[in-house]
Chains A and B, each alone.
Chain A
């Protein structure tokens, strides 16, 4: 008999399914039932670029301690995909559990001697009950949810409640689902008693937290932030943001009297057209955005530069993923940092926001529109696939009803009528931000011609070098102003003074928090700074200068944030040590602990050698 992993409220379950088999909603049902037990979870989809047939995985980390990063390793594998059976089996921790469909007998050589095997004849059970092929497929998923609830000690009433909520309005589907659920439960109770040493025990660790995807939250942020125009082109992993915006607008933005829409959403022919529409709408005074990913950012480069020079407040949600074409696009990375920060030709740099979770996706999603209007420049909200397309447990979304949109420096018809001097690119008050007018405002004043670079402070055409340099310097002043407007970094110092720090951002946050506790236990104390925006606030540069060595954790190969820090902060590169994770899976605490501990040993070793010399 293999060893048995025994754990309560602290283990990892992974579902291996076939894409398009209806497993996603069943797996989500399972995940949410654990939340309803008051136990936090972190869930992640690992899916292919495919509609039907290819393998897909769903990983749930059950964590009463609230570690929301990916842990790595699997304690219980629900192996529902024969195609990937061997590699799924290989992933299980020694002493872990394999749950599989035992309808077809399999030779012992197909299993591992150090893994506990839990077989259930799922196909046989559903084939005996259902004749329709699709029903057999769909209810098989519900049957295994019922069995797992029994095996892990999840209160079936929670699952039943969730089924009731899921089919609200379609009540006639509820009994059939409950029947399948009970079939699974009954079989497990009768045949698989105490087969698994992993348990879910009711706790009170979820609080009032919510469970949602970053793309969904960012879309809500755009609704709350007053976006009225969305132009987009389908691209994984950003598509669900545009779709969520559509959904939320239909709920919240229909004129109750006329049924007409207080929004316009256009699925454009490509990313060039998407950003062109955003720029046109923003130029004309509407709050507008696009949702895209790395390849879209590449295609938009020329337009982004135009928006920078013409000073048009465009908002771009970049849900980052792996490189071009197919393959890595359904995997997560933070690898668009440089291409977004310096997007386009000529001298350009752009405001970037780095949300850490769906709650910040919402907050920054709304804030981006204020910043874009205030600064009259493109603003990027840098999500990634991990935040964007996975449901995360996070604090509830919040909105202050007293908040007013900051539309920035826009002259009204009254101000123009009063004879106020208007130079579209004139820096009136030293912050580098000029006034603008919306087309159609005043019959004879305030009109201007929008171009790229060849104009003076009054928007008159000129190719004179001095006027160009003047304008470029003003744009730099504007970027300085941005530093004081973007979200400040979040700093947390170690309990004891330390000469070492770590900088991280975005979806790395939960894994980093978890790693810090373990690193501290190993005697590695680090001050931490979570960067939330570019341009970097003074606090970011100060943090680096206050420490001898700073780890910079990123999910890309080239240390892009580090490059940006070195370049924009005039930082000596020797101060910064890159910790890089870029295999497409979300970064884990295990990885961070190993990497930082390894570097730490080298560092302190080096220090000791220096001291000896």
Chain B
């Protein structure tokens, strides 16, 4: 089947951003996912975040692996280049793309099967390398396209739609990401756009590896009462530790909130994140404390969401490699080819 393009009629009063684009300019093709799928809400949040940041859509590259989640890049940012790669290997393709041109925004979209099972190795290594990207895992605990098998993030003891119990320990993507050296780690819920949109914006602004583990219920296979990834379960157990406002660099920073409940975090590139604290003692820049808190709350049955870890002194892969400022894909013979005279010197040294 070929998808119909959405009608390009704009409501005359649609608001525009600094580039003169409306929200519609950030949309993609019509989604073919199930009605009510959490993934569509995440696509909506990505559209909203890019619109609010006034990102030129063509300066974003969106990459994915295989699965329901990985189909979604078709459904947002239609003016961006996209790459639906192979199962579990989006991180390496994104890493390569980022090496070729450091000036674009790289948005990696993956699922729990894609990232926590077949792609766990690449998930781990792209985070520890500090690839400058936003890595969103659309996490529903289940394989959708192959009709309802457990994924590796399914909680132990949770039951499938057919009543089978999951006996294996779940992969904790958040805990792994923090340990592996991701410098921006957040968890959110597809049903909470107010929380998710600022997190995506902040992740885009962050330089370094930013992971958002976004619980995104599967209405077809994992939204029943025995599931721990259903809308009802996540709403009942969601405990946000903070709420984020992204402060654009040019804005004047004012703190009007009650002291002690708001914190400004200055990032390496000079930008600020304004954190409204919901859990007063939670310090997302303290790795050990964050891990302890997350494990304690997890044991208590809570799903902790918000910006869970941030390294304000982050650097990215290009910083570490020491590459030139210009994109590598823009260099030509003049910059790259040493020429025949240098070759003669080499020849002479090999006699």
Q: Could you tell me the distance in whole angstroms from the C-beta of B351 to the nearest C-beta in chain A?
A: 6
B92 touches A449 (CB 8 A): no
User: Knowing A253-B336, A449-B84 touch, does A211 contact B351 (C-beta < 8 A)?
Assistant: yes
Report chain B residues within 8 Å CB of A400.
340
Report chain B residues within 8 Å CB of A255.
324
Point out the residue from B63, B83, B329 that lies within 8 Å of A285, measured CB to CB: B329
B84 touches A440 (CB 8 A): no
A281 touches B99 (CB 8 A): yes
B257 within 8 Å of A (CB atoms): no
Point out the residue from A276, A438, A456 that lies within 8 Å of B92, measured CB to CB: A276
Q: Interface with B: A175-183, A258-266, A530-538, which one?
A: A258-266
Mask, A245-286, CB within 8 Å of B = 1, is 000000011010011111111101110111111111111111
Report chain B residues within 8 Å CB of A258.
324-325
A264 touches B84 (CB 8 A): no
Nearest B residue (CB) for A366? B337
Point out the residue from B1, B331, B339, B351 that lies within 8 Å of A262, measured CB to CB: B331
Nearest A residue (CB) for B32? A461
A194 within 8 Å of B (CB atoms): no
Give complex CA distance A436, B318 in Å.
26
Point out the residue from B96, B324, B338, B344 that lies within 8 Å of A280, measured CB to CB: B96
A280 touches B101 (CB 8 A): no
A284 touches B96 (CB 8 A): yes
Point out the residue from B3, B59, B81, B85 that lies within 8 Å of A460, measured CB to CB: B3
Report chain B residues within 8 Å CB of A280.
63, 83, 85, 92-100
Give complex CA distance A404, B82 in Å.
30
Q: Could you tell me the distance in whole angstroms from the C-beta of A401 to the nearest C-beta in chain B?
A: 5
Give complex CA distance A228, B93 in Å.
16
Q: Interface with B: A17-25, A218-226, A381-389, A540-548, which one?
A: A218-226
Report chain B residues within 8 Å CB of A396.
344, 347
B251 within 8 Å of A (CB atoms): no
| Contact-residue size bin, chain A (C-beta under 8 Å from the other chain) | 35 or more
Give complex CA distance A41, B114 in Å.
54
A442 touches B93 (CB 8 A): no
A288 touches B96 (CB 8 A): yes
Mask, B111-123, CB within 8 Å of A = 1, is 0000000000110
B79 touches A260 (CB 8 A): no
Report chain A residues within 8 Å CB of B91.
273, 276
B247 within 8 Å of A (CB atoms): no
B269 within 8 Å of A (CB atoms): no
Nearest B residue (CB) for A220? B346
Report chain B residues within 8 Å CB of A252.
338, 342
User: Knowing A220-B346, A303-B89, A397-B347 touch, does A450 contact B84 (C-beta < 8 A)?
Assistant: yes
| Contact-residue size bin, chain B (C-beta under 8 Å from the other chain) | 35 or more
B331 touches A228 (CB 8 A): yes
A306 touches B347 (CB 8 A): no
Report chain A residues within 8 Å CB of B99.
228-229, 264, 266, 277, 280-281, 286, 288
A443 within 8 Å of B (CB atoms): yes
Q: Could you tell me the distance in whole angstroms from the C-beta of B294 to the nearest C-beta in chain A?
A: 26
A284 touches B97 (CB 8 A): yes
Report chain B residues within 8 Å CB of A209.
351
Quick one: which of A199-255 are within 8 Å of B by CB?
Answer: 206, 208-212, 220, 223-224, 226, 228-229, 231, 252-253, 255
Give complex CA distance A530, B336 in Å.
32
Give complex CA distance A265, B347 in Å.
25
Report chain B residues within 8 Å CB of A448.
81-82
Give complex CA distance A552, B340 in Å.
37
A462 touches B104 (CB 8 A): no
Give complex CA distance A283, B342 in Å.
30
B96 touches A282 (CB 8 A): yes
A35 within 8 Å of B (CB atoms): yes
A260 touches B324 (CB 8 A): yes
Q: Could you tell me the distance in whole angstroms from the C-beta of A293 to the nearest C-beta in chain B?
A: 19
B35 within 8 Å of A (CB atoms): no
Give complex CA distance A255, B318 in Å.
15
Give complex CA distance A355, B255 in Å.
67
Nearest A residue (CB) for B80? A447
A397 touches B93 (CB 8 A): no
Main secondary structure of the interface of A (DSSP, over half): loop
Q: Could you tell me the distance in whole angstroms from the C-beta of B200 to the nearest C-beta in chain A?
A: 20
Give complex CA distance A587, B33 in Å.
58
B104 touches A439 (CB 8 A): yes
Q: Could you tell me the distance in whole angstroms from the C-beta of B69 to the nearest C-beta in chain A?
A: 15
Give complex CA distance A456, B2 in Å.
9
Give complex CA distance A303, B86 in Å.
7
Give complex CA distance A262, B82 in Å.
26
A444 within 8 Å of B (CB atoms): yes
Quick one: which of A84-131 are within 8 Å of B by CB?
Answer: none
Report chain A residues within 8 Å CB of B2.
456, 460-462, 464
Q: Could you tell me the distance in whole angstroms from the C-beta of B26 to the nearest C-beta in chain A?
A: 13
User: Knowing A261-B323, A306-B86 touch, does A277 contact B1 (C-beta < 8 A)?
Assistant: no
A440 touches B347 (CB 8 A): no
Give complex CA distance A231, B323 in Å.
15
User: Knowing A264-B328, A281-B100, A288-B96 touch, does A224 contact B1 (C-beta < 8 A)?
Assistant: no
B92 touches A272 (CB 8 A): yes
Give complex CA distance A35, B350 in Å.
11
Give complex CA distance A224, B346 in Å.
13
Point out the residue from B56, B81, B121 that lies within 8 Å of A450, measured CB to CB: B81
Quick one: which of B297-351 are within 8 Å of A by CB?
Answer: 317-318, 321-325, 328-329, 331-333, 335-340, 342-344, 346-347, 350-351
B204 within 8 Å of A (CB atoms): no
Give complex CA distance A527, B277 in Å.
83
B81 touches A447 (CB 8 A): yes
B276 within 8 Å of A (CB atoms): no
Point out the residue from B1, B78, B342, B350 that lies within 8 Å of A462, measured CB to CB: B1
A607 within 8 Å of B (CB atoms): no
Report chain B residues within 8 Å CB of A259.
322
A404 touches B338 (CB 8 A): no
Give complex CA distance A281, B57 in Å.
20
Report chain A residues within 8 Å CB of B347.
208, 210, 396-397
Report chain B residues within 8 Å CB of A484.
none
B129 within 8 Å of A (CB atoms): yes
B100 touches A273 (CB 8 A): no
B125 within 8 Å of A (CB atoms): yes
Q: 18 A-B contacts, Cβ less than 8 Å apart? A: A206-B351, A208-B347, A209-B351, A210-B347, A260-B322, A261-B321, A262-B328, A276-B89, A276-B122, A277-B93, A279-B96, A280-B92, A281-B96, A281-B99, A283-B93, A284-B104, A440-B81, A443-B79
Seed contacts A260-B322, A264-B321; 10 additional CB < 8 Å A-B pairs:
A208-B351, A258-B325, A262-B335, A263-B328, A273-B125, A302-B86, A397-B343, A440-B103, A447-B81, A449-B81
A residues with a Cβ closer than 8 A to B are 35, 206, 208-212, 220, 223-224, 226, 228-229, 231, 252-253, 255, 258-266, 268-270, 272-286, 288, 302-303, 306, 310, 396-401, 403-405, 437-444, 447-452, 456, 460-464
